[in-house]
Amino acid sequence: MVIKKLKNMKSIFNSLGSNYNQELVLLSLRQLLWPKKHQSQVLKQKLDDLFAADAHLFYKGRDAIQFALSSYGIGQGDQVLTQAFTCFAIEQAIVRTQATPVFVDIDDSLNLTVESLEKAFKTAKSAKAVLVQNTLGSPAQIVKIKKWCDQHKLLLIEDLAQSFGATDQEGKLLGTYADVVILSFGRDKIIDSVSGGACLFKNVQPVKVKPDYQKVTSFQIMKDLLYPSLTMLIRKTDQFILGKIIFQLARKLKLLTSPVLSPTTQIADFPDQLAPLTLLMIRDLDLQLKHRQVIAQIYQQKLAVSDQQSEFVTSHGTNQRFFFSIKKSQELISYLEQNHIYISDRWYRQPVDSGKIHAASSYQLGSCPVAQKLCETVMNLPTHLNVSADDAHKISQYINKWLKTYV
């Protein structure tokens, strides 16, 4: 009887526009047809106030990283320490400056540590900066890392793409100790306005650079503004086959593309049309984080797995996704997909994950063994606003049933 009821479950996705509610969908359509102008300056001022910093807006988070490194004169011949178990966009940003990424291993929190930084630093000859990711909203040991960076005179860059609003071990907002804060407003991030990013200088303003900004085309902006309504339509009609047809057609028409692949190749300016979407997401941040925490707590209490994210991560992090480790991860993904739960786009499937675009990486196999192992076993479950408490209970039941049967 329980299993029969479970099969009436709606389709649930880890991504595919799952952050969006009706208000944001309508706002994106309004910005497409009758855009409210001059909102980028409002957004900049909002970020300045939130972080007590000087914000610079860009089209992508990777643009913001490139701008930050270049502004501090980091480039050819320099090295940037950053973790494995990450996205190709991070490596791409570093390489754009002609600097070299040095990949650092992680622990079970999915973050680099002072110990793994120290090990990588001993072999690095020209390290200039550390970029901390706070994976899936799990707070890194930022107080210890800041102290270590100061000892070695390294620039501390904190990426809050997945952790905007999380707090550290002392209860302070992430970004408090950084020299530079990086934000991404891209798809499936905590602040998700389809595209966008920001670089916030916290301390002394570095030497100003004037990049040759690449222009975002009107067609690309149109695609960004259509994305929330298009993906909502796909999700709502997935079980009626129509959603799958729309999805395939949208991909063929290139209205849906990989979030890892940027349509720009260099630093691009932030489109003003997207600013109201970003401001809306910031306005509703507390509501979103409370919801994600409730969903994460359900997984934590109901899942019959011992190797899962800690209570500290659930209470202090953003819970962008709830993570746990398990063998036969691909088999579980396939099982859940049969029941309209789509989590195959888990983060991360490779030490430097580029999704389906198969981008080349300088990562050396064997250099970060913990990260490589976790790439094979880590699963992450959705916590976004379109997952209800009832959905989380049912997902947990599916996983527990699979565990009893196959593991």
Q: Can you tell me the distance from the alpha carbon of 261 to that of 278, in angstroms, rounded to the nearest whole number?
A: 21
Both structure tokens of 364: 């050396």
Both structure tokens of 88: 């190709």
pTM of the model: 0.94
**CA dist 251 to 188, 349, 395, 400, Å?**
18, 22, 28, 34
Q: What is the CA radius of gyration of the chain?
A: 20
Architecture per CATH, 34-201 = 3-Layer(aba) Sandwich (3.40)
Please report which confidence band the pLDDT of residue 1 belongs to, taking 50, 70 and 90 as the band edges: very low
Q: Can you tell me the distance from the alpha carbon of 102 to that of 399, in angstroms, rounded to the nearest whole number?
A: 37
Q: Do 2-17+284-406 and 34-201 come out as alike in CATH topology?
A: no
Please report which confidence band the pLDDT of residue 4 belongs to, taking 50, 70 and 90 as the band edges: very low
Mean pLDDT score across all residues of the chain: 94
In this structure, of 237-246, 296-305, 378-387, the range with the lowest mean pLDDT score is 237-246
Q: Can you tell me the distance from the alpha carbon of 402 to that of 175, in angstroms, rounded to the nearest whole number?
A: 40
Both structure tokens of 238: 């997935």
Which pLDDT belongs to residue 314?
98
Which pLDDT belongs to residue 261?
85
**274 and 193 in contact (C-beta within 8 Å)?**
yes
Using the predicted structure, report yes or no on whether residue 3 has a pLDDT greater than 60.
no
Q: Which residues contact 289 (CB under 8 A, 6 or more apart)?
A: 165, 190, 318, 319
pLDDT in tens, 20-55: 999 999 999 999 999 999 999 999 999 999 999 999
Q: Is 2-17+284-406 in CATH node 3.90.1150.10?
A: yes
Residue whose entry in the numeric block shows the structure tokens 């989590």: 343
Please report which confidence band the pLDDT of residue 350 belongs to, taking 50, 70 and 90 as the band edges: very high
Q: What is the DSSP code (8-state) at residue 4? A: H
Please report which confidence band the pLDDT of residue 208 belongs to, taking 50, 70 and 90 as the band edges: low
Strand ranges inside 10-110, DSSP E: 12-13, 54-58, 79-83, 86-87, 100-104
User: Measured between alpha carbons, how far apart are the two ends of the chain, in Å?
Assistant: 23
Helix, strand, coil percentages in the chain from 3-state DSSP, rounded to 5: 45, 15, 40
For residue 75, count other CB atoms closer than 10 A to its CB: 13
**190 and 161 in contact (C-beta within 8 Å)?**
yes
Q: Where are the domains of the chain?
A: 2-17+284-406, 22-29+216-265, 34-201
Using the predicted structure, report yes or no on whether residue 217 has a pLDDT greater than 50.
yes
**CA dist 308 to 179, 302, 374, 387, Å?**
31, 12, 12, 19
Q: Can you tell me the distance from the alpha carbon of 207 to that of 201, in angstroms, rounded to the nearest whole number?
A: 11
The more confidently predicted of residues 240 and 175 is 175
> What mean pLDDT is predicted for residues 378-406?
95
